[in-house]
Amino acid sequence: MEAVDGNAIGGLLQEVFGTEMTAAGSVCGNCGAARQVAELAVYAYAHAPGTVVRCPSCDSVLMVFVKIHDRTCVDLLGLAALG
């Protein structure tokens, strides 16, 4: 499927982190590429509870968000830095 970008999850990120995150910096844990969160590749699946954020340079998974009822499970293990 075609990716959108980090702008599309600005609301989700603000819900999780409590602050505006699309202009925040990020560093890929695999290739070290540094980008603002808005520039990351986002795969949001309309009929599944998960959102996957990948590095546009090396395609590594950087962040995963899964919503179950009112809880959002967050996996940031692919990131070397955020913020």
Partner 1 sequence: MAGTAVRRRLTWQVAKVTAVTVETASVRTITLDVPGWPGHQAGQHVDIRLTDEDGYVAERSYSIASAPGEPVALTVERLDDGEVSPYLTDELRAGDDLELRGPIGGYFVWEPDDGGPLLLLAGGSGVVPLRSILRHRERTGSTVPVRLLYSSRTLNDVIYRNELDIPTAGVEVIHTLTRHQPPGWAGYARRVDAALLAEVAWPAAAMPLTYVCGPTSFVEAVSQDLVRSGYRPERVKTERFGGTGGT
> Which residues bind to partner 1, rule: CB under 8 A?
2-8, 10-11, 14-15, 18-20, 22-25, 36-39, 46
Q: Provide the minimum distance between the beta carbon of 9 and partner 1 in the complex, in angstroms, as a whole number.
A: 9
**Spatial separation of the C-alpha atoms in residues 45 and 52, rounded to whole Å:** 9
Q: Cα separation of 82 and 49, whole Å? A: 23
Measured from the CB of residue 65, what is the shortest distance to partner 1 in angstroms?
13
Cβ-based neighbour number of residue 51 at 10 Å: 19
Minimum Å gap between C-beta 24 and partner 1 is 8
